[in-house]
Every structure is written in structure tokens, then in C-alpha cells.
Amino acid sequence: MIPFVTPGDPAWAQARMWDRRTGTTFEEAMANGGAWGVSSAAPTSTGGMFPPDAPNFNAVVRPLDVNAEPTNRTIFVGMRARFSCALQDAPGTVYQWQKLNNTSNWVNFLDATTRDLGFDAARPEDAGLYRLLINQTAGHPVQLLVLSPPQFGGLTYEPSNGAFRFALGAPAAFNYRLEASSDLTNWLYQTTLDNFKGSQQVRDVEAGSFSRRFYRLIIAGP
């Protein structure tokens, strides 16, 4: 019987299933990393009863994605990066981050036994694939790319019109956003550099309006 449904009224129903070894309720099993699944929703108007074809629901049971929140990160050398699992702590939960050492060998990351994995100043050797084990259940791998820092060269000021130009170098095939600031606090959009070719001349025609001008390059995507 579906609660609060008047016999004869239309309603939608959905079946949920979970591994009872990992929790007495659906939510508890999810939190503990157990297998779970849901069916597609089905309409019913059978007097408030569950749809007669309920046994034929094809629920897809899939392991809980323990990396529910982390996504791939691309940063420059020296920047911060952080991966974090969105699941809430449960008593007795054991966490272990791992890094892919080669094409198939996952190794435990030293002292990485919490929901979070952080890099305060990323180095080139920090790049790679990572995953989080929760009670020995592995989440999907997340990738950290660490790019060489951008280069600003050929700095040239044009006193006749106040423009400032420079040569910008950065790893190719990424999308960037160039920003400028006069105080290192308020940053203004300058231009978008999609599918960057590795180097480009940049000319800022507004530079002469400021006593000083700073630039930074933001990674906008692969």
C-alpha cells in the first residue's frame, strides 16, 4: 500500500534496493559504501497499491561512488589543489587515498587517511590519477594535471598611446582566461585564449590608464 494515496488516484512509484549487510536502510547503506540501486519511476492507479508490474522493474544496482564530489583538477606548478569526498563520516569508516603508480598498480598515498587530499604547493611529480578507498571500496579515479607556470616576456610599453604589450607563453591545447589588476585584489577580465597554441602576443590598450598593472593567467579548461 502506498501511504497517503487515495484509491483510484494516479501516483508514481519507484523501487529502491540496497545491500542489507551494509545498512538497515537505503540511506545507511549508501553512507556506508554498500551496493544500491533504484528503478525507473512507474505510474499506477491501482487503488493505491504498488504497480502490479513492480517485480519486473529492472533496477540497476551499482556501487556507491565514494568520490561523489571530487572532479579532475588542472593547475599550475605551485598552486593549491584539493580533492574531497562529499560523504559524511560514519563510525568506523576507514579512508585511504591511493595513487596510480603505473598503468595498473594503485599504491597507498602516505598519511592520506581522511576524506580530503590536498596539495598546498603542487609539484610536477604530484600529477597523476588518484582514488579514495572507503572501507576498501574504491571510488572513481580523479586526475590532477600540474602545468608549468606561464611565462611573460618581451615587456614593452608604448608611451605614445599608453598601450602595453608582452609575449605570453603557456602549455598548449588548454583554454585560458587572462585577467589584469591594479591592486592584486580586484581582477578584471581581459581576454579568453581558447585552445592556446603555446605562445601569443598580448596588447593591453588600457594599461596607460593605471599607475601600475598586474596580469594573471587562469586555466579555464582542457
The residues, any chain, with a CB within 8 Å of residue 153's CB and separated by 6 or more, are 166, 167, 169
What phi-psi label fits residue 69: left (phi over 0), alpha (psi between -120 and 50 degrees) or beta?
alpha
| Euclidean distance between CA atoms 112 and 100, whole angstroms | 14
Report the pLDDT value the prediction gives residue 191, as an integer from 0 to 100. 95
Residues 26, 36: contact at Cβ < 8 Å? yes
This prediction's pTM = 0.65
Identify the pLDDT of residue 147: 97
Give me the sign of the Cα torsion angle 150, 103, 65, 42.
Answer: positive
Strand order in the sheet with 199-204: 151-158, 163-169, 199-204
Question: What count of other Cβ atoms lies within 10 Å of the Cβ of residue 99?
Answer: 19
C-beta neighbour count of 77 within 10 angstroms: 14
At 70 the pLDDT is 61
Helix (H) or strand (E) holding 28: helix 26-31
CATH number for 73-147: choose from 2.60.260.20, 3.40.50.300, 2.60.40.10, 3.90.1010.10: 2.60.40.10
**pLDDT at position 30, please?**
63
The predicted pLDDT at position 17 comes to 73
Instruction: Map residue 100 onto helix, strand or coil.
Output: strand
∠ CA 201-205-206 to the nearest 5 degrees? 130
Q: What is the pLDDT of residues 21-71, one digit of tens each?
A: 666 776 776 666 666 666 655 566 555 444 444 444 333 333 444 455 568
**Size of the chain, expressed as the number of residues it contains:** 222
In the predicted model, residues of the chain with pLDDT beneath 70 are 1-14, 18-23, 26, 29-70, 86-90
